């Protein structure tokens, strides 16, 4: 047990160290969401409005940008597995006495932690774009963002654990992340969609994670409950309670962690 925990910690710490020493990645990780929120968020909100009274488009987009950035950073963090394989480090840890599940968990938690760090500028900029922050909102956002990041990082680990080429991994991630973002509700409300598209959004667990973040922000931003319900995805015409969304995301995350661990065992 101690060896497993120590292995998880070492892999996790190495991911954080690798992130912090890459100054270009740190700078771009902090600057990109700032530019996206200030320019895209304010620019779009000035020309578009939601058909829901009491909600500005920038308020709708704020948790969506958090979710969108988490999707990219958490999933792409698994690229480090392909880099480790290319430079021989992965072979060294695979033949070490560290359990394979510890390697998978260390990579997942490392990617989730670096993603959590990189969304701090977005949260700090909330008041500058009209999103009021409260201590309760931040206290609820942190575990929700961490759960979401672990799920996304697990997806990345599952994909890259069996891959060999770094170039192929980058192309595959670009191909996967686009439909995940578009079908998650991060950019536009999941209402009045064609039936086939509505079905895809309902079977996409990421859409419930995005709505979980949005409802935490909306609930503590003095937005009417009717407006919150009008922007949330529905199942059989009913809006799921946030507790059900947390359960869906948690089960999805546990399944992905199991698949990630099994992928490393097969490797």
Pick from 103-117, 119-133, 143-157: least confident = 119-133
Task: Say if CB 232 and CB 240 are below 8 A apart.
Answer: yes
Q: Which of 210, 213, 209 is nearest to 247 (CA)?
A: 209
Domain that holds residue 71: 2-266
Q: Which residues of 132-148 are buried (b: 16+ CB within 10 A; e: fewer)?
A: ebeeebeebbeebbbbb
Rounded CA gap, 89 and 83, in Å? 8
State which H helix or E strand residue 86 sits in. helix 79-86
Residue 246: predicted pLDDT: 92
What does residue 220 show for φ and ψ, rounded to 5 degrees?
A: -105, 20
Which two tokens mark 156? 């990345």
Q: Which of 21-25, 33-37, 216-220 has the lowest mean pLDDT?
A: 33-37
For the chain, the farthest-separated pair of C-alpha atoms sits apart, in whole angstroms, at: 59
What pLDDT does residue 146 have? 92
pTM of the model: 0.86
pLDDT in tens, 156-178: 888 887 777 666 667 777 788 88
Q: What is the pLDDT of residues 83-100, one digit of tens each?
A: 777 777 777 777 777 787
Mean pLDDT (whole number) for 175-183: 83
Number of domains comprising the chain: 1
- pLDDT-derived band at 3 (thresholds 50, 70, 90) equals confident
Q: Which of 32-36, 65-69, 88-92, 121-125 has the lowest mean pLDDT?
A: 32-36
Q: Do 207 and 231 contact (CB within 8 A), yes or no? A: no
- What band does 233 get if pLDDT is binned at 50, 70 and 90? confident
């Amino acid at each position: 047990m101690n060896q497993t925990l120590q292995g998880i910690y070492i892999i996790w710490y190495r991911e954080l160290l690798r992130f912090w020493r890459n100054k270009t990645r740190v700078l771009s990780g902090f600057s990109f969401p700032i530019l996206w929120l200030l320019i895209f968020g304010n620019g779009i909100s000035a020309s578009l409005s939601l058909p829901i009274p009491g909600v500005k488009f920038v308020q709708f987009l704020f948790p969506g940008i958090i979710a969108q950035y988490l999707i990219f950073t958490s999933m792409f963090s698994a690229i480090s597995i392909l880099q480790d394989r290319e430079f021989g480090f992965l072979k060294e840890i695979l033949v070490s006495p560290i359990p394979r599940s510890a390697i998978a968990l260390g990579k997942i938690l490392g990617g989730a932690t670096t993603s959590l760090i990189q969304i701090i500028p977005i949260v700090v900029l909330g008041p500058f774009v009209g999103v009021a922050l409260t201590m309760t909102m931040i206290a609820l956002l942190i575990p929700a963002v961490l759960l979401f990041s672990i799920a996304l990082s697990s997806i990345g680990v599952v994909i890259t654990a069996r891959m060999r080429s770094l170039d192929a991994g980058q192309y595959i991630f670009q191909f996967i992340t686009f439909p995940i973002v578009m079908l998650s509700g991060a950019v536009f409300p999941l209402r009045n969609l064609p039936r086939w598209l509505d079905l895809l959004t309902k079977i996409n667990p990421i859409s419930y994670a995005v709505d979980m973040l949005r409802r935490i922000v909306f609930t503590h931003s003095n937005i009417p409950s009717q407006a919150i319900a009008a922007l949330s995805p529905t199942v059989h015409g009913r809006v799921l309670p946030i507790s059900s969304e947390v359960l869906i995301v948690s089960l999805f995350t546990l399944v992905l962690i199991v698949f990630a661990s099994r992928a490393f065992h097969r490797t």
